[in-house]
Amino acid sequence: MSVIAAILIVIATIIAMEGVAWASHKYVMHGFGWAWHRDHHEPHDNVLERNDLFALVGAAMSIAMFALGSPWIMGEGAWPPAMWIGLGIMGYGVIYTLVHDGLVHQRYFRWVPRSGYARRLVQAHKLHHATVGREGGVSFGFVFARDPARLKAELKAQREAGIAVVRDSAGT
């Protein structure tokens, strides 16, 4: 496999993982996985959250792909692109950790962006946390953020339709 092909697979996987993360967040974390995700939406002083268990799920996906692409593990049955897909999943995990846990929730460093895309990410995720409970909500992605003004309008519409309970400080 060429270096260019490997790089393209890694980049495509990182981009695709945002879609996987969005769907997982909306339908798993805010669905049957709420027991793990709930503490992420509630105030606490713990260093770790039960929600952090989802990182182990992502790590398992990455490790599984590394294994499928490894001739040392799979022998002749190895599928080389899987190694690069595993690297892309891992890369997305690193980006997620820096952006979501680091920048947005400031678990690792303190920096409040005043402008630009970083500020938009923080605003979008704060609007995600504007709902009480798992019903309704906006901005389920982690790296690609929609316009906060549109997200506020969606939250307002959800509140008016009785779909979501929105905290008063959400600015809707």
Beta strand ranges found along the chain (DSSP E): 131-132, 165-166
| 64 and 40 in a common domain | yes
| 85 and 4 in a common domain | yes
| 127 and 80 in a common domain | no
CB 80 within 8 A of CB 9: no
Q: Which of 7, 99, 106, 92 has its CA nearest to residue 57?
A: 92
Amino acid (1-letter code) at residue 100: H
Query: In this predicted model, what pLDDT tens digit does every residue of 123-139 receive, in sequence order?
Result: 999 999 999 889 999 99
pLDDT, position 142: 87
**Range of 80's domain?**
1-111
Choosing from 111, 138, 159, the residue where a domain stops is 111
| 96 and 120 in a common domain | no
In the predicted model, residues of the chain with pLDDT beneath 50 are 172
| 71 and 149 in a common domain | no
| 130 and 97 in a common domain | no
| 52 and 80 in a common domain | yes
pLDDT, position 170: 55
The crossing angle, in degrees rounded to 10, of helices 53-69 and 81-96 is 160
Where would I find the H helices in 24-115?
A: 34-37, 53-69, 71-74, 81-96
| 86 and 12 in a common domain | yes
Which DSSP state fits 128? Answer: H
What is the value of pTM for the model shown?
A: 0.89
| 89 and 54 in a common domain | yes
Please state, in angstroms and rounded to a whole number, the distance separating the CA atoms of residues 55 and 35: 15
Find the distance separating the first CA and the last CA of the chain, reported in whole Å.
Answer: 51
| 170 and 133 in a common domain | yes
Which DSSP state fits 130? Answer: T
| 143 and 99 in a common domain | no
pLDDT, position 83: 97
Domain count of the chain? 2
| 87 and 32 in a common domain | yes
